[in-house]
Amino acid sequence: MRLFQRPIPAMGIAPAVTHAINTGMSAADTPPIILVLNGPNLNMLGTRQPEIYGYETLADIDAACKRHGANAGLSVEFRQSNHEGELVDWIQQARGRVAGLVLNAGAYTHTSVAIHDALLAVEVPVVEVHLSNIHQREPFRHHSYVSKVAKGMICGFGSHGYILALDALSRLIKAPPALPQDIEEA
């Protein structure tokens, strides 16, 4: 049963609690959903410049994320698109539905104001991931529109970055950092 007609905003409330209220289920019996989104060309992992992106396929990373998520009590949804608008649609649909977002926006990381704006609009904690260390690569990869709105960014650890991102979100969801006004002066 739904407690509210409209999704409540996530600000100041643990995402797992918001998710539980919005879905009408108790936080105890629904694993929080983590949406893992992948942008353009990541469907070619395994064959695309393996010296940079590794030999694992996106299906391998999907399976590893779902396995790791299940062990951590998270339900992982894993998607990829080569289309900016489709990624924006998926980000918008995450509002009030998912507890966290792992995003490797591929080349859109460096170009997409639309993805930046969608991330701002949904108020879902985001961890940005890149397989490669973008700061050791061409200058055009050094700027990220995602970093500006992400909780944090992981790059340079290959596919393990996705696992690190799930762990970071899991910790955030289960024990959100105290708000500054909750911390008493000593």
Q: Find the binder of ligand DHK among 18, 80, 112, 132 (CB under 6 A).
A: 132
What residues are annotated to the active site?
Answer: 53, 130
Residue 21 in the binding site for ligand DHK (CB under 6 A): no
Only segment of 7-15, 19-27, 95-103, 105-113 that touches ligand DHK (CB under 6 A) = 105-113
Residue 131 in the binding site for ligand DHK (CB under 6 A): yes
User: How far is Cα 135 from Cα 44, in angstroms, rounded to an integer?
Assistant: 22
Write the DSSP symbol of residue 165.
H
Rounded alpha-carbon distances, angstroms, from residue 144 to 152, 153, 180: 12, 10, 27
Binding letters toward ligand DHK, positions 140-169, x by CB under 6 A:
-x----------------------------
Neighbours of 184 (CB within 10 A): 5
User: How far is Cα 133 from Cα 117, in angstroms, rounded to an integer?
Assistant: 24
Shortest CB 41 distance to ligand DHK, Å: 5
Q: Angle at CA 136, nearest 5°, toward 133 and 140?
A: 95
Residue 127, beta-bridge partner list: 102, 152
Binding letters toward ligand DHK, positions 63-102, x by CB under 6 A:
----------------------------------------
Residue 104 in the binding site for ligand DHK (CB under 6 A): yes
State which residue, 56 or 123, has the beta carbon closest to ligand DHK: 56
User: How far is Cα 88 from Cα 25, in angstroms, rounded to an integer?
Assistant: 27
Shortest CB 140 distance to ligand DHK, Å: 8
Rounded alpha-carbon distances, angstroms, from residue 90 to 29, 34, 114, 136, 176: 25, 12, 12, 30, 24
Residue 106 in the binding site for ligand DHK (CB under 6 A): yes
Q: Find the binder of ligand DHK among 33, 102, 134, 166 (CB under 6 A).
A: 134
Name the site residues for ligand DHK (rule: CB under 6 A): 41-42, 104, 106-107, 109, 130-132, 134, 141
